[in-house]
Amino acid sequence: MDARHRSGEIHVILGPMFAGKTTTLLRRIQSESSNGRRVAMVKSNKDTRYAVDSIVTHDGAKMRCWAVPELSMFQPKLGVEAYDKLDVIGIDEAQFFEDLYDFCCHAADRDGKIVVVAGLDGDYLRRGFGSVLDIIPLADSVTRLTARCELCGQRAFFTLRKTEEKQTELIGGADVYMPVCREHYVHGQTNWSCNNCLVLSEGPVRLVP
């Protein structure tokens, strides 16, 4: 059946860095493809860490994708005919797309696509990242994955930045970030502010050389 004639779906995969979001996305897209669905993957062209035109997990699994600055450019880049034939669209690094909400709405509600979205729900300060949290009310399913705390092995819910850069967007991997549990997130900050309180802590870990 043509995708336009069935109702679409939106599935969202969230979590800190190293939680397996991209791995889960790739598996889902590969499984849809094995079931005969026509699939395409898209990521932000801001992320050139491992490859320009592939989505790559931290342990090296990869799949070809379209890299675009904004999702509105996906259909023009792919071509209208190819877009119309698609059943499933996988989006990685969703936090970098400002037009995520509109794209997901149109793709699922209007065009009948199954959209699988992977991204960071929070930035290094644990604030909502980009438009990722905005699409939760649109979703059929939301899966929040956890990583392993790099300092104690407990479940990690947060991403700690190891460097002193302050801008929200800073492309990087294990050189810049690590997954941590709540305790090590709090103690890993040399100073941080929350709800107007400032805590100065030396903590057990020294992150900034």
Ligand X SMILES: Cc1cn([C@H]2C[C@H](O)[C@@H](COP(=O)(O)O)O2)c(=O)[nH]c1=O
Where do contacts with ligand ADP occur on this chain (CB under 6 A)? 15, 17-23, 57-59, 147, 150, 174, 178-179
For 107, list phi and psi in degrees, rounded to 5. -65, -45
Torsion 125-129-135-140 (CA) sign: negative
Residue 147's closest CA among 168, 173, 166?
173
Residue 147 binding: pick among ligand X, ligand ADP, none (C-beta 5-8 Å cut-off by kind): ligand ADP
Binding segment toward ligand X, per CB under 6 A, in 30-38, 70-78, 117-125, 188-196: 117-125
Query: Strands (DSSP E) along 45-180, which ranges?
Result: 54-56, 62-64, 66-68, 88-92, 114-118, 141-144, 147-148, 155-156, 158-161, 177-180
* 185 scored as a contact of ligand X (CB under 6 A): no
Instruction: Output the smallest distance, CB 16 to ligand ADP, in A.
Output: 7
Instruction: Output the smallest distance, CB 173 to ligand X, in A.
Output: 7
* 168 scored as a contact of ligand X (CB under 6 A): yes
- For residue 142, list its beta bridge partners: 12
* 172 scored as a contact of ligand X (CB under 6 A): yes
What residues are annotated to the active site?
93
Q: Which residue from 171, 174, 194, 199 is in contact with ligand X, where contact means CB under 6 A? A: 171
Residues that bind ligand X (CB under 6 A): 17, 21-22, 47, 49, 120, 123-124, 159, 168-172, 177
